[in-house]
Amino acid sequence: MSELNLELEVCGGCNEKIGVKDLTSILKDLNPYKREEITVGFDKRDDACVYKINEDISLVESLDFFSTMVKSPYDFGRIAATNAISDIYAMGGEPKFALNIVCFPEGENLEILREILRGASDVCRKAEVSITGGHSIHDSKIKFGQCVTGIVKNREIWKNNGAKVGDYFILTKPLGVSLIMSAYSVGMTSENNYIEAIKKMTTLNKDAAEILKKYEVSSVTDVTGFGLIGHLDECTENSVEIYADKISFLPGSYEAASEFLFTAGGQRNRRALEDEVDFTFDDFALEEVLFDPQTSGGLLFSAKKEEADKILDEMKKRGIPAFFVGRVIPRGNKKFKVI
């Protein structure tokens, strides 16, 4: 089936996330009923919840949705599904089935919705995830996402907060998604850069997760709306030394930041953590990339140096564009030091 000539508004994505400071303030006073089978909840800001079935396996579940952020409805569906499924991979799980979440304006062309659902279906087929239903409502703005359920072996559950001093961080996808979307929406970056960003956002983290299962890792998450620094903040109580010369950018994203094409989400991320970051040299564009919200970003994980070297080597052989981010150091005056 050829793609229809239907275009969406370029905005939204994980750039819309409520800021981490606001979320923390809201959630800290809640006292939800917690079943003893819940072994991972929202208290540690992990990627998904985990429900223990028996001594061997658990269910792992996550929900993610957002408004349109690419022109193509088909690509939007692909990105939203890839992003939602990623949380299951980030917990060490195998995604099994999904429920669609649809917000769609009354009177809007239903062919747009058909293409969104087709894109999500194609990604789920590739991930061997069954779409089993969902829920739809009329809304003034198109939004789409999924609630994804998987299974995970109890001894293989990954959490996002175990990185220790001496561990090295690796990220599996380049940064700069929201900067590219912002620049493209105002004609300040090329079609090729826009297409490359879509390619990365529609790449499942399945292969990267399969490789990680062969090794000892101390923390795993995926980089989305809180940006690289925001997600690093979840991974350790110690400090992190970030290697500026190792960071990989999407083509055009650094240039977009240099032109001050800010995103709202990036500024929320900056306000939340800028006081905890020691930038040892002057590079405002780099700062923006490090705070930039990602949609369907890569897996961010930590491991001892020898293990990290082996993982990076295998990922590169598999065509995964992984790179070193930095290492965990003893807690200093600030949480992050960019060198």
Binding residues for Mg(2+): 47, 87, 222
148 neighbors 100 (Cβ within 8 angstroms) = no
Q: Residue 300 belongs to what H/E stretch?
A: strand 299-303
Cα 31 from chain centroid (whole Å): 27
Annotated binding site: 17, 44-47, 64, 87, 134-136, 222
Q: Which two tokens stand for residue 337?
A: 């030091």
Annotated binding site for ATP: 17, 44-46, 64, 87, 134-136
**14, 40, 27: which is closest to 220 by C-alpha?**
40
The length of the chain is 339
**174, 162, 161: which is closest to 200 by C-alpha?**
174
211 neighbors 317 (Cβ within 8 angstroms) = no
14 as an active site residue: the answer is: yes
| 264-273 helix and 177-185 helix, angle to the nearest 10 degrees | 140
Of 11, 14, 49, 124, the catalytic one is 14
Residues 6+ apart with CB under 8 A from 143: 12, 65, 66, 67, 68, 101, 102, 103
Residues designated catalytic: 14
